A and B are shown apart, each in its own frame.
Chain A
Amino acid sequence: GDSVTQMEGPVTLSEEAFLTINCTYTATGYPSLFWYVQYPGEGLQLLLKATKADDKGSNKGFEATYRKETTSFHLEKGSVQVSDSAVYFCALRGDNAGNMLTFGGGTRLMVKP
């Protein structure tokens, strides 16, 4: 079945550092890919998405490119802020799986001033 693998956290960075959180997936066909973020005490919020190969999703300075050849959807940000401290979840929705989302394990990001 479908699966998503993320790098384990926590990831601890200083403010203005470059961020990469790796995400790879296994799925048949052409899934849609998502990054969700969970700030402390809040629910899951969609951060960005990409629905076909080579699409780049972007939002709030974060970017991720749908790479079918490497089955990856790595999250990047050029300069992180303390306010980016949260848990980040990579997820996919298979093209024949209805609306069910398959999540990775989540990566906690801690940004220090």
Chain B
Amino acid sequence: NAGVTQTPKFQVLKTGQSMTLQCAQDMNHEYMSWYRQDPGMGLRLIHYSVGAGITDQGEVPNGYNVSRSTTEDFPLRLLSAAPSQTSVYFCASSYTGAPLNIQYFGAGTRLSVL
């Protein structure tokens, strides 16, 4: 059972480049979410989804897009990377359509934007 799989683990981008962070879960979880973690700050919600076809913005959505075409996948797109997006990104999922159950986290993606 793979759980929550994030790829890549590390990425270096130049300012203005685009990329997609992948997140997949094999537990048939309804709720999926993306967070960024910066030094001295708690994890902050970027976008979340309560089920396939439904997404919504979190606390810090600017510069990021998401889609949820299947239950399993929840990719995070950076359309034009900026140095302020240098961070560690975590994807998480849980069983119900709201974070009222144990959360399962991916291993994280460490992103540097030069």
A, B: real partners: no
B interface list, Cβ under 8 A from A? none
